[in-house]
Amino acid sequence: MHSTGNIIADTICRTAELGLAITGASDAGDYTLIEADATAYIDRCPTCDNTGIFRDHAYRTLIDLPIVGFPTRLRVRLPRYRCTMTDCDVKYYQAQLTCADTGKKVTHRVTRWILQRLAIDRMSISATAKALGIGWDLTCQLALDMCRKLIYNDPTHLDGVHVIGVDEHKWAHNRAKHGAGYVTVIVDMTHHHHNSDIPARLLDVVEGRSADALRAWLEHRSPAFRQQVRIVAMDGFQGYATASKELLPTARRVMDPFHVVRLAGDKLTACRQRRQREKYHRRGLRDDPLYKNRKTLLTTQQWLTDKQQARLGQLWAFDKDYGVLKIAWHAYQGIIDCYRMSNKREAKSKMRSIINELRLLKGPNRELAQLGRSLHKRLADVLAFFDVGVSNGPVEAINGRLEHLRGIALGFRNLNHYILRSLIHSGQLTHKINAL
């Protein structure tokens, strides 16, 4: 029969849910030591599954959740039994706890607590380990092992995925140690596509940024998954388009509007820089008209101030040699206007016309001709946006979260560790973690 004080302690420490009853406690310096008796355990032999005869008691030490800011250790008294089966290889065995796996140092709720701190509170491994009073390696290993179970061992993880986004991500900036340091990020955008209030979900991170990287990932997925994917959003990299065309032949490929506009902006900048060199035979200086308007040229026409519009007017009137640049600027603004138009059918027709006109340009308009040829190769993917309305914006948002994760961890050295930490951080695992 437990005293009133022990009942209060059981309530505060919530040991009842562990199947334990507190019998004593002491201050062990760096941690709080709680002594307890097991009230819920398995007394059958782990080998033959028969009930043995009670012999004596043994003690097992477990790591539990911190109490009032201090790490906690549980010293649990468990009954020990003698197996009565003559053909059993086990002579004596200790009762098994329901709150912790056999041979493990932590309770089940510690693993859940670690994942909650990492996924929900965005804590670092070091801070989480310090709160528990254990090492970095153990904390990390517990989190990664459980993450593998929640994701790779879950047969329903890819159910209902119809829209995915693919993009490259720079995970390491030390080329000497990590090679190119790039990975391919694959994101589930199905719910985000239908309801903007639901965030995108990171599905996986694959080493490399090539057609082979995406192709290998898709080949390891089931045929049912490949058939259910209807839309694939991506940037202008041809490798991703090739791999998705081979493995997802029925899916609609969409080239992200941001990357289309950025490609057009890069060609506009290249044209400006070429005209600068041709006219002045040097790079731009602060007071050069072309260099002074480098940012104004890339600003959406709708958002130009009166001062900026006046400066552009002066630029076009300054020299007739800037006519080529003016054509490039109008093409750039025309592409932006297509994505801003409310009538998607008209916008699609206008985009098609712009691309066809650009690829036929010759002579001094070589940057625009290159732009036209590049976009014409992906014409179906560029125009698909106006039909399905899917962009790679959620994938870029995931990339931003991963950049934040790398900052929390002060960098990563192991790619497998980075991939699993990324999935914990952005894989929408909260409901699975809370269900542990």
Same domain flag for 38 and 73: yes
CATH of the domain at 425: 3.30.420
- The domain in which residue 368 lies consists of 257-388
Same domain membership, residue 91 and residue 20: yes
Q: For residue 397, what are the contacts with CB-CB under 8 A and spacing of at least 6?
A: 199, 200
The answer to the question of residue 219 being in a domain is yes
Indicate the average pLDDT of the chain.
89
Looking at the structure, do residues 267 and 368 belong to the same domain, yes or no?
Answer: yes
Q: What is the pLDDT of residues 62-121, one digit of tens each?
A: 999 998 889 999 999 999 999 988 888 888 989 999 999 988 899 999 999 999 998 888
Tally of structural domains, the chain = 3
- Note whether residue 112 is domain-resident: no
pLDDT of 69 reads 86
Is 139 within the bounds of a domain?
Answer: no
The CA distance from 117 to 364, in Å, is: 58
pLDDT for residue 177 = 63
The domain boundary, picked from 105, 136, 152, lies at 105
Same domain, 346 and 273: yes
Dihedral of CA atoms 304, 309, 311, 312 in degrees, nearest 10, equals: 100
Please check whether residue 115 lies inside any domain of the structure.
no
CB proximity list for 105: less than 8 A, separation 6 or greater: 61, 62, 63, 138
Asked if 418 and 347 sit in the same domain, the reply is: no
Looking at residue 3, what is its pLDDT?
Answer: 59
Task: Using the 3D structure, point to which of 90, 105, 120 is the last residue of a domain.
Answer: 105
Q: Do 14 and 86 reside in the same domain of the chain?
A: yes
Clarify whether residues 272 and 371 are in a common domain: yes
Shared-domain flag, residues 100 and 9: yes
Whether residue 267 is found in the same domain as residue 367: yes
Identity of the amino acid at 104: K
Q: Is 144 within the bounds of a domain?
A: no
pLDDT beneath 50, residues of the chain: 1
Domain assignment present for 150: no
pLDDT at residue 255, rounded to an integer: 95
| Amino acid 120: pLDDT | 85
Would 147 be classed as within a structural domain?
no
Looking at the fold, whether 192 and 215 belong to one and the same domain comes out as yes
> Is there a single domain that holds both residue 283 and residue 360?
yes
Task: State the pTM of this model.
Answer: 0.81
Whether 414 is in a domain gets the answer: yes
pLDDT in tens, 41-60: 998 888 888 888 999 999 99
Question: What are residue 211's phi and psi, to 5 degrees?
Answer: -65, -35
Residues 290, 397, single domain; the answer is: no
pLDDT for 1:
46
